[in-house]
């Protein structure tokens, strides 16, 4: 379930969706993960960090976010930049925590039609 949520959250960040859309449209996928506990401010910080990471992140240098009011936070790290089918792509690690819940996921995202799009999750043990 966490894998689905992390993928969804990153996809939404890539598409620049609003936090309200995250909460309203995809509540069923949030079950059990830390993002289920995020408020609007958390989601804004998360999405802003995702955009910055994808656009300007440096390989192996995490970009962290933290909401001092809730204590929720996380980080995103560009693990690799590469090209696939002539498109610029990035493998990114996404870590989040909230109230004792933690998740760590890796995703491949590529620029498709001028926007970052989720193109696949990286499975445990897959080459990094």
Residue 74 pLDDT class (50, 70, 90 cuts): very high
**pLDDT exceeds 90 at position 97:** yes
Instruction: Answer yes or no: is pLDDT of 32 > 80.
Output: no
Instruction: Say which range, 24-28, 55-59, 124-128, has the weakest mean pLDDT.
Output: 24-28
In percent, the amount of the chain with pLDDT more than 90 equals: 58
pLDDT band at 20 (very low <50, low <70, confident <90, very high): very low
- Give the integer Cα–Cα distance in Å for 88 and 33: 29
> Between the CA of residue 98 and those of 11, 37, 103, 122, what are the distances in Å?
20, 7, 9, 23
User: Does the pLDDT of residue 4 top 80, yes or no?
Assistant: no
Locate 125 and state its tokens: 């043990």
């Amino acid at each position: 379930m966490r894998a689905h949520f992390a993928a969804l959250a990153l996809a939404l960040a890539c598409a620049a969706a609003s936090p309200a859309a995250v909460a309203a449209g995809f509540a069923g996928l949030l079950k059990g993960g830390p993002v289920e506990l995020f408020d609007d401010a958390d989601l804004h910080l998360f999405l802003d960090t995702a955009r910055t990471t994808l656009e300007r992140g440096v390989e192996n240098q995490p970009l962290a976010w933290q909401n001092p009011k809730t204590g929720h936070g996380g980080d995103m790290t560009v693990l690799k930049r590469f090209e696939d089918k002539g498109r610029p792509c990035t493998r990114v690690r996404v870590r989040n925590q909230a109230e004792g819940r933690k998740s760590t996921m890796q995703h491949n995202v590529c620029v498709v039609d001028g926007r970052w799009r989720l193109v696949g999750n990286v499975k445990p043990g897959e080459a990094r």
